[in-house]
Amino acid sequence: MNRPLRTMLGSAMTAAMLATVAVAPAQAHPGGRPPAVLALPDGFQPEGIATAGRYAYFGSRATGAIQRVDLVTGRGTTIGAATGTPSLGLKVDPRGRLFVSGGTAGDARVLDTRTGEVLARYQFATAPTFVNDVVLTRDAAYFTDSNRPVLYRVPLGRGGALPPADAFTTITLTGAYEQVGTGVNLNGITTTPDGRALIVVQSTTGTLYRVDPATGASTTVDVPGHTFTNGDGLLLLDRTLYVVQNRLNLIAVVRLNHAGTAGTLTSTITDPNFDVPTTVATALGRLYLPNARFTTAPTPSTPYTAVAVRAH
């Protein structure tokens, strides 16, 4: 049996960031309730989100910039410098480090959320590659590649120490997993409720897979009568799995068994403010999703937002 892959939970960051971005902040509702719609910079093209306490971090697929937003006030700041390459799936660990999936750059970066400093960088692959999402466990970070049937594992040492740039492993998926054509295949990733395996979504086929992180062996997660076409970000809370189906503008809510081998669709969540949401994180008792607006031609003045909804 594999040792449980316990996920890391982010903690609130209170240090000031580098620069304030001139974005009109959403206003908190009367009574101090956090806003349901958050303004992001025009032209930002968000995709990933990670939360820590009252703050959310968003990555730009256009420039690689990272936007930090206070979920209570709606006010945003930028940390670090734009890379010119995408910043997609994000996760924050309890040490205030932001793990960033690099998309077509084929890499991952780890940033200090207080200063924006790049603490480490891992070059997993060269084109064709699309490093899309990430999950953190007690002893590793796992990244998906939407162009290849593989996961990338970055081990975390004692005390969460970051390894050297070449100290990562490529895990080839075997078993039930199917790669289809050249479009977006592997996408969101999380752990099973028992922490012993990983769950990934195949966007093209809409299939969920359970993956043994030691071997790459995969099996289909049985959710009778349902597939997850356009499946994107995944979020696991206890035994409830939230699957964002981006172009369908909805979240599928699945109740999993303990091992993550099977589940039941219990409900779906949608909202009139959704505009192709890509992934999801939780904070302040709600779910937050960035609107990627894939169906809207991006320009430097195109507005972007993130949306909060109630968890089912």
User: In this prediction, what percent of the chain has a pLDDT beyond 70?
Assistant: 90
Domains, the chain, ranges and CATH?
19-310 (2.120.10.30)
Mean pLDDT along residues 96-107: 98
pLDDT number for residue 80: 77
Question: What confidence tens digit (pLDDT) does each residue in 199-247 have?
Answer: 999 999 999 999 999 999 999 999 999 999 999 999 999 999 999 999 9
pLDDT number for residue 7: 67
Please check the confidence at residue 154 and state whether its pLDDT lies above 80. yes
Average pLDDT along the chain: 92
pLDDT number for residue 84: 95
Question: How far are the Cα atoms of 24, 280, 290, 305 from residue 42, in angstroms, in the given order?
Answer: 10, 21, 13, 9
pLDDT number for residue 18: 28
